[in-house]
Structure 1
Amino acid sequence: MDLNHLLYHHQLSIMRAASLPAASRAGAYRLVKHYQTRIDRLRHQMGVSSYPDWCGAAVPAGAVS
């Protein structure tokens, strides 16, 4: 998957998890974490940070976001 595809599925998983009853969210948020891990790994491989330099919240490539 490319980065945009991962970001898309990550956002969908966040919205789905948020719409579930509180008792069911833990399992749904594991999928959110799964996508975040894949996004972080891909960004590290690409050598890019999580945020652009101009936003002031730059996270070095490979750092946990």
Structure 2
Amino acid sequence: MDLNQLLSNHQIALIRYAVGNGDAEERGSQYDLVKDYESRIARLRHAMGVPAYPKGNGLLVSRQA
């Protein structure tokens, strides 16, 4: 998957997580998907020699109970 597709999928996963539909197990799965895309994007960016995002940019998602 190329970087643009990963970024697109990550945004969709973030939106689905933010909407918050589903039970606790489904919410956990949505969170895991967001984190998976986040790590895949970071690995691909590193492999491409693209600098990482600066800290504190608001892109990180915190898990809500």
Give the TM-score, by structure 2 length. 0.69
Contact between 2:10 and 2:34, CA under 8 Å: does it hold in 1?
yes
Residue 50 (structure 2) aligned to one of 37, 48, 51: 48
Query: Within 2, Cα distance between the matches of 1:14 and 1:25?
Result: 11
In structure 2, the gaps of 5 or more residues are 61-65
Aligned residue for 1:36?
Answer: 38
Structure ranking higher on relative contact order (CA contacts 8 Å, 6+ apart)? 2
- List structure 1 runs of 4+ shifted beyond 4 angstroms: none
Contact between 1:18 and 1:25, CA under 8 Å: does it hold in 2?
no
Shift of 1:20: 1.8
Larger radius of gyration: 1
In structure 1, the gaps of 5 or more residues are 52-56, 59-64
Shift of 1:49: 1.1
The amino acid of 1:32's aligned partner reads V
Pairs aligned (count): 54
